Chains A and B, each alone.
Chain A
C-alpha cells in the first residue's frame, strides 16, 4: 500500500518537501482537536470507531456539509502500489482507492470505476454515507451524549422534508422537489430520518405518523436506498425488532 495524506495527496507531499514555499492556500484541517475511542459491542463482535468527544447530530452534520475538497482534506488517501514502474509501462486498471477519514477513522473504498478520479469521487460519496450511518451507530450505544429528538412538538428539519415523497402532509410548497438517493443532500435527510426512527424506538408506524405519511409510504422510502435500509434494520435489531423487508 502506498499512502499519501490528502489535500489532494501531492499537496501535502509538497508541503513536507524541503524546497517549497509556494503552497499558500492549503487551509488548516478543520477537524476537531479531541477524539476518544469508542468501543461498540454488538452480537459479540467488538468493533471500534473513533468518535469526536461531543459527537452529536450537529457534529456529524458538520462533516457532511463540508464541500468535497474540504472533506477530502480530512482524509488519508491510499492506492494500491502497482508492482513495477507504472506510467507508460503499464496498461492495468488498478485504480483502487481507499479513503480514511482521519477525524472519525471511517474508511471507504472504491475499485469498480474506470478512472482514478471517479474512484476517488465514489469513495468520497460512500464516505459521506458511512459518516451519516456510523455517527448514528455511535448514538445507539451512546444514548447519554445525545440530545433526544423532542417528540411532543416534533417538526422535521428541512433536510428531512426534502427527501419525503409528495404525499406527506408535512411537505410544504417551499420544500422543493423530492430528493432521491443519488442526490448528495439525501444523506443529510437520511440522517435526520434515522434520528427520528431512533427516537421512536425503531417503530416505522410511529415515525410515519410524525411525518404525516402512511407506514407503507415510509417503508417504501426506506427501501429505496440500500444503506438507509440496512441502517434502519441495524437500528431495529439493536432494539430487538424484526428487520424491515
Chain B
C-alpha cells in the first residue's frame, strides 16, 4: 500500500493537504492500481479566497516571527534551514499565494510595513487559515517548502511535486547542460531518436531533455523520451507535469523497474539518463528532517554503499544504448564517481569511450558520463 510518512501530519483546517488514500483499494494486489490524483500546486489554484490587508499583514508578521525564532537551531540539529532561508521561502510562499495582478503592490506594502487602507481586500489562492496551518507544518514538522506550495522551480521549469515524489535538486540541473553541451553539441543526430530517464520522479530530467531535443533537432525528426519509475505517485505526477508542458506526444511515462519497461527499445537508445537513489543506507537516519522524514525512501536509499542501483544501471546501459549513444548518471560524490569509473574500466572494457567525471556547481564530483562505442 501507499505509505507516506507525512500522512501523520494532522491539522484540522487543511485536510486537502493530505494525500487522499482511497479506501476502496485495500485488497488490490499491486500498487499500480492505486489511483493517485496529482494535486494542484498553490500557484495554479484560482484566486477565489480573500483576506483584508490587515489580516494578511498579521499573518505575515506571525510567519516571519516563527521563521526568525528558528535561528540556527536546525543547522545545529541536522544541517537544516536557518531563519534567513526560511524567510526567503516565506517570500516565495507569498508570491504563490497572492493573485498576480496586485502582487507586487501588496508585497511591497508588506515589506515596508505601511498600514494605509488596512481594509482593502486581497485575492488569495488559499484561505489564510490554511496558511497558518501550512507554515506551522513547515517550521514545526519540517515539512519541505516545496510540498507546502506543491511545486519546485527547476531550470526554467516549474514542476508540481507532492509527498511521495522526490523534490528535484539544483545539482541535477547540470545533467541537462551535459545533454545539450556535451551530447547534442558533439553528436547532433542523437537529438532525433529515443532517450530514457530512469527513475523520473517528478519528470524533471525527462521534460527538460525533451525540450532540449526539440531545440537541437534539425528538420522535423525530433527525438522522444521514455521516463520510467517504480513509484505510482511518481508516475502520476510525472505524467501530469508532462501534460502541463504539452509534451504528451514526446514524453512517455512507463511504470516499472529500471530497464524492465524498455525491452522494445533495447539497443536503440540515443541516451540514458538517471538520478537513481544513491544515499548509503546508514546515512538515511542522519538526513535533515525535510529529506529523511518527508521524502520517499524509495527515492533515496541506494543500499549499503549507496551504489546498488547505479551498478544495476551500469550493467544494463551498454546493451540499451546504440553505438555512439550517451549516458549520464548522478552520484553521491567523488567516492562513488571514482568507484563507478573503475568498475566500468575493469568490468566493461572497451564498451565506452570518452568517459568522464563531472562536478556540480558546488565543485563536488557528481556525475559519470560517457558514450557507447
- Measured CB to CB, the residues of A under 8 A from B are 2-4, 8-11, 13-14, 17, 19-25, 77, 79-95, 97, 112-118, 121
B359 contacts across to A, CB distance below 8 A: 4, 9-10, 13
Write the chain A residue with the least CB distance to B89.
Answer: A93
Q: Let me know if B153 is at the binding interface, CB within 8 A.
A: yes
Looking at the assembled complex, report how far the CB atom of B245 sits from the nearest CB atom of chain A, in whole angstroms.
Answer: 15
Q: Do A95 and B170 contact each other (CB < 8 Å), given the known contacts A10-B178, A87-B278?
A: yes
Residues of B within 8 A of A19 (CB): 354-356
Nearest B-chain residue to A113, judged by Cβ:
B153
* Residue of B80, B145, B361 most packed against chain A (CB within 10 A): B361
Flag if A88 contacts B278 (CB, 8 Å). Answer: yes
Q: Which of B342-367 contact A (CB under 8 A)?
A: 354-364, 366
User: Mask for B291-320, Cβ within 8 A of A = 1, else 0?
Assistant: 100010001100000000000000000000
B287 A2 Cβ-Cβ under 8 A: no
**Given the complex of chains A and B, what is the CA–CA distance between A77 and B361 in angstroms?**
8
30 residue pairs of the A-B complex, CB under 8 angstroms, read A2-B362, A4-B361, A4-B363, A8-B181, A9-B174, A10-B358, A13-B359, A14-B356, A21-B354, A23-B182, A81-B363, A85-B332, A85-B333, A85-B364, A86-B333, A86-B364, A87-B171, A87-B278, A87-B366, A88-B166, A88-B169, A88-B277, A88-B279, A89-B288, A91-B81, A91-B291, A92-B85, A93-B89, A115-B152, A116-B155
Chain A residue nearest to B330 in the complex (CB): A87
B177 contacts the other chain (Cβ, under 8 Å)?
yes
B359 (CB) vs chain A CBs: closest residue: A13
Per CB-CB distance, the 5 closest pairs between chain A and chain B, nearest first, are A2-B363, A114-B153, A117-B155, A116-B170, A91-B290
- A8–B185 Cα gap in the complex (Å)? 13
Cβ-neighbour of A87 out of B169, B181, B358, B363 (below 8 A): B169
Task: Provide the residues of chain B in CB contact with A118, threshold 8 Å.
Answer: 153, 155-156
Bound: A97/B173 CA distance, A: 14
Say how far A223's CB is from chain B's closest CB, in angstroms: 17
Q: Which residues of chain A come closer than 8 Å to B290, judged between CB atoms? A: 91
Q: Which residues on the B side are within 8 Å of A82 (C-beta)?
A: 362, 364
The residue of chain B having its C-beta at the shortest distance from the C-beta of A83 within the complex is B79
Contacts of A24 in B (CB 8 A): 186
Residue B49 at the chain A interface, CB threshold 8 Å: no
Question: Considering only CB atoms, which chain A residue lies closest to B159 in the complex?
Answer: A115
| Complex interface: chain A residues within 8 A of B153 (CB) | 113-115, 118
Give every chain A residue within 8 A of B356 (Cβ-Cβ): 14, 17, 19-20
Q: Which residues of B approach A to under 8 Å, CB–CB?
A: 79-81, 85, 88-89, 91-92, 144-146, 152-156, 166-167, 169-174, 177-178, 181-182, 185-186, 275, 277-279, 283, 287-288, 290-291, 295, 299-300, 330, 332-333, 354-364, 366, 371
Which A residues touch B172, using CB under 8 A? 87
Taking the nearest CB of chain A, how far is it from the CB of B283, in angstroms? 7
Q: Describe B's contact surface by its main secondary structure.
A: mixed
Question: CA A93 – CA B87 in complex, angstroms?
Answer: 12
Is A10 in contact with B181, judged by CB distance below 8 angstroms?
Answer: yes
Q: Assuming A84-B79, A91-B81, what are 16 further A-B pairs, CB within 8 angstroms? A: A4-B363, A10-B174, A10-B178, A10-B182, A20-B354, A22-B354, A79-B362, A86-B362, A86-B366, A87-B278, A88-B279, A89-B288, A92-B81, A94-B85, A115-B173, A116-B173
Bound form: Cα–Cα A89–B332 in Å? 9
Give the complex CA separation of A82 and B290 in angstroms. 16
Whether A91 contacts B364 in the complex (CB less than 8 A), given A10-B174, A20-B356, comes out as: no
**Once bound together, how far apart are the Cα atoms of A21 and B288, in whole Å?**
40
Q: What distance in Å separates the Cβ of A90 from its nearest Cβ neighbour in chain B?
A: 7
Establish whether residues B154 and A89, one from each chain, have CB atoms under 8 Å apart when the complex forms: no
Q: Contacts A85-B332, A88-B166 known; A117 to B363 CB distance under 8 Å?
A: no
The reply to whether B155 and A91 contact each other, CB–CB distance below 8 Å, is: no
Given contacts A86-B362, A91-B291, A112-B88, contact A22 B170 (CB under 8 A): no
Contact B88 A93 (CB under 8 A): yes
B181 touches A11 (CB 8 A): yes
- A8-B177 contact in complex given A14-B182, A112-B88, C-beta closer than 8 Å: yes
Given the complex, which residues of A lie within 8 Å of B166, measured CB to CB?
Answer: 88
Residues from chain A with a CB closer than 8 A to the CB of B92 are: 114
Known: A8-B181, A23-B182. A87 touches B333 (CB 8 A): yes
Closest A residue, CB atoms, query B95: A114
Tell whether, in the assembled complex, residue B363 and residue A3 are in contact, meaning their CB atoms are under 8 Å apart.
Answer: yes
Residues of A within 8 A of B275 (CB): 88
* A91 contacts B288, C-beta separation under 8 Å: yes
